[in-house]
Amino acid sequence: MFKNLRDTIKDLNADVKNVANCEKAKKLRKKLLGIGLTLAIVGMLGLITCFAMIFVTAINMQFNSVIFIPMIFFFPSGVLFALGAYISSLGFQIMATGYTTNLIDETVGNVCPNCKESLNQTDLFCKKCGTKVRKECSSCGNINDFKSKFCSKCGNKLD
Ligand SMILES: [Zn+2]
Ligand SMILES: [Zn+2]
């Protein structure tokens, strides 16, 4: 299961400029962080409870059967915490990728300047808010970035 997950993340990281990948990465990241952080918190609480119980028992010097409860729960809590931490770390790997992707998109103009929706290279208008995101050259028809003042292909002045 984790091998597949790691491969999926590797694939997603390998093609960060792909809009569909970016969407997929966002969804997977949300899922991984949701599951991972929940498990880690539950495991952590379990560990803290076990420590507290052992501590209290040790102070009171009452080494009766109660001491077995934290001892039994200590190991599964630890496993739960480790598992949660690992799943979260996978989620955070995607988070870093998603962040980088957005930065790249913003730099090369693949994100709507108005609403930040991801765009395809050929989109003239944002499909979400309708903002004009590219300038089509009136002379040669070349599609230019919305920040361009002149056509990158023929040098014609864009308005
Ligand atoms: Zn937009
Ligand atoms: Zn042109």
Q: Ion ligand 1 — residues with CB under 5 Å?
A: 112, 114-115, 117, 126, 128-129, 131
Q: What pLDDT, on a 0 to 100 scale, did the predictor assign at position 14?
A: 67
Q: What is the pLDDT of residues 60-94, one digit of tens each?
A: 776 666 677 788 888 999 999 999 999 998 888 87
Ligand number with the minimum distance to the CA of 125: 1
The whole-chain average pLDDT of the chain stands at: 82
Q: Please give the distance, rounded to the nearest whole angstrom, from the Cα atom of residue 146 to the centre of ligand 2.
A: 14
The answer on pLDDT for 100 being more than 90 is no
Q: How far is the CA of 128 from the centre of ligand 2 (A)?
A: 27
Please write down the long-range contacts of 25-32, taking CB distance under 8 Å and 24 or more positions apart.
Answer: 25/94, 25/97, 25/98, 25/101, 26/94, 26/98, 28/91, 28/94, 29/91, 29/94, 29/95, 29/98, 30/91, 31/91, 32/5, 32/87, 32/88, 32/90, 32/91, 32/94
Please indicate, yes or no, whether the overall pTM of this predicted structure exceeds 0.75.
no
| C-alpha 109 – ligand 2 centre gap (Å) | 18
